């Protein structure tokens, strides 16, 4: 038995605005939308997410996720240049000691979206001394 994918469901009071943010700013494609259910499915490359408005099964007032959504990419600096003036920035690109170059933004609901790319950090013993 195995798990085959993880598709986060982001709750929002602003479904149409959120669809526009993810498609218009971040380049996702709207795969499905059901106005009656207040639900949408989006994808970009290998990443899929769902969006949902409040319903009788899940009480919702505002974005309250305490973590972040981390996206691996092969072009972190290019994404930063494309988006930095269109979004609310959490932190600008930085290369961290865990060998990832990352930045983070907020979506229109306040969810934190981090984008990271693995980098090679060749530090020899002579450089450390």
pLDDT tens figures, 97-106: 999 999 999 9
Domains of the chain in sequence order: 1-54 (3.10.180.10), 62-129 (3.10.180.10)
What is the reported pLDDT for 54? 84
Whether the model pTM is above 0.75: yes
Q: Would the pLDDT of 6 be above 80?
A: yes
What is the reported pLDDT for 33? 98
Mapped onto helix, strand or coil, the DSSP state of residue 34 is strand
Query: What confidence tens digit (pLDDT) does each residue in 45-96 have?
Result: 999 999 999 877 777 777 778 899 999 999 999 999 999 999 999 999 999 9
Q: Which residues make Cβ contacts (< 8 Å) with residue 80, sequence separation at least 6?
A: 92, 93, 103, 115
Query: What is the C-alpha to C-alpha distance for residues 129 and 124, in angstroms, rounded to an integer?
Result: 9
Closest CA to 95 of 79, 71, 119: 119
Query: What confidence tens digit (pLDDT) does each residue in 11-40 have?
Result: 999 999 999 999 999 999 999 999 999 999
């Amino acid at each position: 038995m195995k798990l085959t994918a993880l598709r986060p469901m982001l709750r929002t009071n602003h479904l149409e605005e959120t669809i526009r943010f993810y498609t218009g700013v971040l380049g996702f494609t709207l795969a499905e939308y059901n106005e009656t259910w207040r639900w949408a499915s989006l994808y970009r490359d290998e990443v899929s997410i769902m969006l949902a408005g409040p319903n009788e099964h899940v009480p919702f007032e505002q974005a309250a996720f305490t973590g972040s959504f981390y996206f691996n990419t092969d072009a972190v600096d290019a994404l930063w240049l494309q988006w930095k003036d269109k979004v609310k920035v959490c932190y600008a690109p930085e290369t961290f000691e865990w060998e990832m170059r990352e930045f983070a933004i907020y979506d229109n609901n306040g969810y934190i979206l981090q984008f990271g790319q693995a980098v090679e950090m060749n530090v020899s013993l002579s450089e450390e001394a």
